[in-house]
Amino acid sequence: MVYTASLDFRPELFDDPREYEETPLRDCKGPFPNLYRDDVKAEFIRDAIAMANTARLFGKPAYLFFGIDKDGNLRDITPDLRIYEQKAGGPEYTWNRIQQQIGHLVQQYITPPFAGWELEQGYYETQDGKEIYLVAYILFRPLTLARPFTVAKDLRRELSVGQCWIRIGESKTEVKREEISPDDARYCYAYAEVPYVLPSLWQAYFEGLWNDPTANLPQAQRIAAYQELFAANGRPLQDVVEEFLTSDKTLLILSGAAGCGKSAFLQRLVGQWANHEAAAITEIRRREEFKPPPEWIPVYLPLRGRGVTATWSLAHDVLSKVNQLSQSAFWKTRPAHPERLLEYADLHWLIGLDGLDEIWSEVKQRYFIEGLQAFWEEYPRVKVILTTRPDVNRGLLETRGEVIDIAPLTPEQILRYIQNFPGAEDPERYGEIEAFLRNDAELWELCQAPAYLEASVTAFVDAYPQSLEEPATSTVELSEPAPPKSNEPTGSVGVDNVPIVGAADLVLEDTIMEVGESAEVEEPQEDVVLRISLGILLEKVYRHLWEREQGRHPYPPEKWVTWRERTERLALQMDGAKERFSCEETIRCMKIQEAIARLLSLGVLKRDTPETWLRFATRLTQLYFAAAFLKRYIQHAVNHIKAHRHIQHTLPDFRQRLLEILSHISNVNPYPIFQEVNNESV
pLDDT in tens, 200-225: 889 999 999 999 999 999 999 999 89
Q: What is the mean pLDDT of residues 27-32?
A: 91
State pLDDT tens for residues 388-428: 999 887 777 777 889 999 999 999 999 999 999 998 888 88
Please tell me the predicted confidence (pLDDT) of residue 394. 75
Please tell me the predicted confidence (pLDDT) of residue 645. 87
Give the phi and the psi of residue 8 in degrees, each rounded to 5.
Answer: -95, 10
Say if pTM beats, i.e. exceeds, 0.85: no
Residues 6+ apart with CB under 8 A from 487: 672, 675, 676
Question: What is the DSSP pairing of strand 251-255 with strand 171-175?
Answer: unpaired
d(CA 569, CA 112): 76
Residues 6+ apart with CB under 8 A from 58: 24, 25, 142, 189, 190, 195, 196, 198
pLDDT-derived band at 610 (thresholds 50, 70, 90) equals low
Please tell me the predicted confidence (pLDDT) of residue 336. 80
Q: Reduced to 3 states, what is the DSSP secondary structure of residue 406?
A: strand
pLDDT-derived band at 122 (thresholds 50, 70, 90) equals very high
Q: Reduced to 3 states, what is the DSSP secondary structure of residue 393?
A: coil
Angstrom distances, CA of residue 131 to CA of 29, 76, 134, 400: 19, 10, 10, 68
State pLDDT tens for residues 44-93: 999 999 999 888 877 778 999 999 887 778 999 999 999 999 999 888 89
Whole-number percent of the chain with pLDDT over 70: 84
Residue of 56, 3, 33, 18 whose CA lies nearest to 137: 33
Q: Reduced to 3 states, what is the DSSP secondary structure of residue 20?
A: helix
Q: In what order do the strands lie in the sheet with 296-302?
A: 296-302, 348-354, 383-388, 251-255, 402-405
Q: What is the mean pLDDT of residues 541-557?
A: 90
CA neighbours closer than 13 Å in the CB half-sphere of residue 467: 8
Is the pLDDT reported for residue 473 higher than 90? no
DSSP summary character for residue 527 = P
**DSSP for 554-599, written as a single string:** ---HHHHHHHHHHHHHHHHHHTTT-S-EEHHHHHHHHS-HHHHHHH
Please tell me the predicted confidence (pLDDT) of residue 191. 53
Yes or no: say if 458 and 634 are a contact pair by the CB < 8 Å rule: no
Angstrom distances, CA of residue 579 to CA of 3, 462, 574, 596: 91, 34, 8, 17
Q: What is the mean pLDDT of residues 158-165?
A: 91
- Hey, how many other C-beta atoms are within 10 angstroms of the C-beta on 410? 12
